[in-house]
Amino acid sequence: MKMPTRRLAVPSLLAIVAAAVAVPGVAPAAGPGPCDIYASAGTPCVAAHSTTRALFAAYNGNLYQVRRASDNTTRNIGVLAAGDYANAASQDSFCANTACVITIIYDQTSRHNDLTPAPPGGVGGQDAPVPADALPVTAGGHNVYGVLVSQRMGYRDNSTSGIATGSQPEGMYAVMSGTHFNSGCCFDYGNAETNNLDNGNGHMDAIYFGTLCWFSPCNGAGPWVMADLENGLFQSNTGGSQNAGYTGNRNPYVTATLKNNGTNFFAFKDGNAQSGGLATRFSGALPTFRPGYSPMQKEGAIILGIGGDNSNSAIGNFFEGAMTQGVPSDAAENAVHANIVSVGYGGPSPVAGGTLNPGSTLSLRATTACCTTRYIRHQNNNAVTSVISSGSSALDKADGSWIVRRGLANNSCVSFESRNFPGEFLRHQNFQLFRHPMDGTTLFRQDATFCPQAGRSGTGTTSFASLNFPTRFIRHFNNTLYIASNGGSNAFDSATSWAADVSWVVSSPWTP
């Protein structure tokens, strides 16, 4: 049920700020949410998206919808109670022993600005939905899931209600992550074109987070919060940073805010979403060194995880975000940030390295007599084995380390994400193994899912059956990796030393 947010009794901003500054990790179930704070400041939310919690104290509807692979049915995931956290247990039971994707992120305002996988655009084809369980975290002490965007994934709503158009003012915030990013275009949340095309300067007004340095200078290594105003990621009215102290934000949870009055002003801030306050990174005039931004020409679509023209080579994490009517005050933004801090985003709990538990980082050592110092690593996108030792280069060690994820096509199996190429996974193609960017397709998910079994060569080892070719196991053959059967027409299916070649020692990671 959508709550008629505008008819709620609105407490004073002062009262809301006091309630928002709670102890991290023990957020009250139904305290004021970010959208209550914005409303009381006179800048109500016109879109509110989160897979982790209600953004209004009174919201008691659905947060998102998941679809499972086993039978293509869907389930809406709601909150535990009005104003509370996501009912992730409902997702877990629905998705047990299969894999789910997020098909809708519902708008919690009464405007139904729901986000669905984005259609093809000027750049990039149809976007895939994200895996529903790839980003387990805790919020308010509850297990919930964030939105983990890989390349060729993203969401959009081109037919919105109440979102700023033309030179109308607006504000927005998002909680993202400074540990999962890249320099692709463009991990955005905010206002974009309604036809999926780059319609020119000033046709977008969105938060960007990543390391794509569009205008020089960008200070430090990033990732930076910037304003995607179309044909540019702006750190100031002159494009590049005017703030030598802003070298990026690598906190695991990052609050980003952006506001734009549509005619001559924009400002953005960021902060550690787990503690402290917001820092203003720029506040001043809209760019005039190029035409089109002052005044703005906003179109009013909403995007998540992609650029305005559907550029979809970026990755990132998203937990919650909202867009407002009007430019929010600094006090409202500070109160929203304090509210986010009070949620106590965290986790998932640390997972011991060198195990097959999701979240663990490991290395996989070969056991065939020839090769007991060789480990599975990627090299030029191919999966091979290399000798890796304590004296190896940092690159070799990182290439030989993998993060265990819940199986992309079946969560009772596993997938292996590259330690140094986030968003890229070990997958087979024509029976050979590669490191490829996750593209969200069913085929990729299956090709990247492996089911651990007792090692074929004996105790202390593990073999990994391919999910979609269950009689084939990860095998090294002439130091190249395949999924191989025990005898067959391909050279790499040779029965000679098959059992040893498909048996691996799950080891501590060379790069934790």
Site string for ligand AHR, 144-183 (x = CB under 6 A): ----------------------------------------
Structure tokens at 249: 């934000």
Q: Would you call 230 a catalytic residue per the annotation? A: yes
Q: Can 193 be counted among the known catalytic residues?
A: no
207 is a contact residue toward ligand AHR (CB under 6 A): no
Please identify, among the stretches 158-166, 224-232, 386-394, 430-438, the one whose residues bind ligand AHR according to the rule CB under 6 A: 224-232
Secondary structure string (H, E, C) spanning 27-85: CCCCCCCHHHHHHHCCCCEEEEEECCECCCCCCCCEEEEEEECCCCCEEEEEECCCCCE
Residues between 181 and 200 with contacts to ligand AHR, criterion CB under 6 A: 185-186, 198
In whole angstroms, give the CA distance from residue 189 to residue 254. Answer: 13
Q: Which two tokens stand for residue 54?
A: 């209600």
Q: Does the protein bind ligand AHR through residue 297 (CB under 6 A)?
A: no
173, 322 contact by CB (below 8 A): yes
Look up residue 497 and give its two tokens.
């030393």
CB of 195 to ligand AHR, least distance (A): 11
Answer yes or no whether residue 230 interacts with ligand AHR by CB under 6 A. Answer: yes
Site for ligand AHR in 82-121 (CB under 6 A): none
Q: Which residue has the tokens 């070969």?
A: 366
In angstroms, the CA 151 to CA 154 distance is 8
DSSP annotation of 372: T
| CB 320 within 8 Å of CB 55 | yes
Residues in the chain: 512
The residue from 230, 270, 424, 501 that is catalytic is 230
Nearest to 468 by CA among 441, 487, 490: 441
Question: What would the two tokens of residue 79 be?
Answer: 């909150």
CB of 202 to ligand AHR, least distance (A): 10
Q: How many residues bind ligand AHR (CB under 6 A)?
A: 13
Residue number, nearest CB to ligand AHR: 307
In this complex, which beta carbon is closest to ligand AHR, that of residue 271 or of residue 292?
Answer: 292
210 binds ligand AHR (CB under 6 A): no
Give 346: exposed, middle or buried? Use CB within 10 Å, 0-12, 13-18, 19+.
middle
Q: Which of 169, 171, 232, 344 binds ligand AHR (CB under 6 A)?
A: 232
- For residue 505, count CB atoms less than 10 angstroms from its CB and return exposed for 0-12, middle for 13-18, buried for 19 or more: middle
**Binding of residue 296 to ligand AHR (CB under 6 A):** no
Work out the burial of residue 380: count CB atoms within 10 Å of its CB; fewer than 13 is exposed, 13-18 middle, 19 or more buried.
exposed
For residue 233, the minimal CB distance to ligand AHR (Å) is 6
Minimum distance from residue 313 beta carbon to ligand AHR (Å): 10
Of 114, 127, 228, 493, the residue at the interface with ligand AHR (CB under 6 A) is 228
Backbone torsions φ then ψ of 51, nearest 5 degrees: -100, 0
Closer to ligand AHR by CB, 87 or 231: give it: 231
Give the footprint of ligand AHR on residues 310-339 (CB under 6 A).
311
Among 113, 231, 260, 503, interactor with ligand AHR by CB under 6 A: 231
Nearest CB to ligand AHR, comparing residues 231 and 363: 231
Task: Specify the 3-state DSSP secondary structure of 329.
Answer: coil
Measured from the CB atom, is 203 or 378 closer to ligand AHR? 203
CB atoms within 10 A of CB 2: 15
Which of 147, 233, 332, 426 touches ligand AHR by CB under 6 A? Answer: 233
Single out the catalytic residue among 309, 396, 417, 447. Answer: 309
Which residues contact ligand AHR (rule: CB under 6 A)? Answer: 185-186, 198, 204, 228, 230-233, 307-309, 311
Active site residues: 230, 309
